[in-house]
């Protein structure tokens, strides 16, 4: 029924006509359906979480830990100042993010994954491990370097190190961005989805910087 129709028919001898009950009911159901789409899909909860959130936090803790190990390998190397700044930015962003995701897993009563940087939660690891003793957990995540890759990076000459590091870190960041996009699509816990958006945005930007820095 159009607005013009209501002007002609809606008021007649002081009596206001109404829309058919079936139309009102249909609109109410439609609006209710629109309002419940997010809840039905399990999205956008400030407190609840799902399996995708757990997988994201678990995997990204391991992913970030390896990135920080790659940053550790730059210590004592002769780097371009822009590359040195990039390593500082990676450490400053990813170390606190690891702590945040560990807190989430603890709140959810989920296991904390063992990583190259933290072996407290792994029964098979004692202290004193170096980058070459990286546990197998997380090696199937997108963009992760193998133990052989990390060994190659550590052994690289000063002349070859920076370009190899940039190449590996671009691949590593691309994997993190892929994981972050999966969380944005499938996650439920709002803080986790927000973090995924931040990771996607920041690491995609850093990929551009690293590609520009390569010869």
CATH number of the domain that 57 lies in? 1.20.1260.10
Cβ atoms of 174 and 137 closer than 8 Å: no
pTM of the model: 0.73
Mean pLDDT (10-residue bins), the chain, 215 residues: 41 41 43 37 77 98 97 96 97 98 98 78 40 58 95 97 98 98 98 98 98 91
**Are 91 and 179 contained in the same domain?**
yes
Of 59, 70, 206, the C-alpha closest to 142 is 59
Say yes or no: 59 and 36 in one domain.
no
Are 37 and 60 found together in one domain? no
Q: pLDDT at position 138, please?
A: 77
Specify if 135 maps to a domain. yes
pLDDT at 43: 58
Tell whether 34 and 137 lie within a shared domain.
no
Q: What is the pLDDT of residue 44?
A: 77
Return the closest-CA partner of residue 56 out of 95, 15, 110. Answer: 110
The reply to whether 46 falls in a domain is: no
**Residue 143 placed within a domain:** yes
According to DSSP H, which parts of 14-80 are helical? Answer: 21-41, 51-72
Q: Are residues 67 and 158 in the same domain?
A: yes
Task: Tell whether 91 and 10 lie within a shared domain.
Answer: no
Residues 24 and 87 in one domain: no
Residues 29 and 56 reside in one and the same domain: no
Residues 37 and 55 in one domain: no
pLDDT at residue 135, rounded to an integer: 52
User: Do 129 and 165 belong together in one domain?
Assistant: yes
Q: Do 18 and 112 belong together in one domain? A: no
Domain count, the chain: 2
Please tell me the distance from the alpha carbon of residue 97 to that of residue 29, in angstroms, as a whole number.
Answer: 42
- Of the chain, the end-to-end C-alpha distance in Å amounts to 67
* Predicted pLDDT of residue 139: 80
Both 34 and 104 in one domain: the answer is: no
> In which domain, by residue range, is 8 found?
3-41
């Amino acid at each position: 029924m159009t607005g013009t129709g209501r002007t002609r028919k809606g008021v007649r001898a002081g009596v206001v006509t109404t829309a058919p009950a079936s139309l009102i009911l249909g609109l109410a159901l439609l609006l209710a359906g629109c309002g419940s789409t997010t809840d039905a899909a399990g999205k956008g909860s400030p407190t609840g979480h799902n399996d995708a959130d757990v997988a994201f936090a678990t995997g990204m803790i391991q992913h970030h830990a390896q990135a920080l190990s790659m940053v550790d390998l730059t210590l004592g190397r002769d780097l371009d100042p822009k590359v040195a700044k990039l390593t500082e930015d990676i450490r400053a962003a990813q170390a606190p993010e690891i702590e945040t995701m560990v807190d989430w897993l603890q709140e959810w009563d989920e296991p904390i994954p063992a990583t190259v940087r933290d072996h407290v939660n792994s029964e098979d690891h004692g202290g004193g491990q170096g980058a070459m003793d990286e546990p197998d957990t997380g090696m199937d995540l997108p963009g992760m370097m193998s133990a052989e890759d990390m060994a190659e990076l550590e052994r690289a000459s000063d002349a070859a190190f920076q370009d190899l590091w940039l190449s590996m870190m671009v691949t590593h960041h691309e994997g993190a961005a892929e994981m972050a996009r999966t969380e944005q699509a499938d996650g439920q816990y709002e803080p986790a989805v927000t973090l995924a958006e931040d990771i996607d945005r920041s690491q995609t930007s850093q990929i551009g910087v690293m590609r520009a820095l390569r010869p």
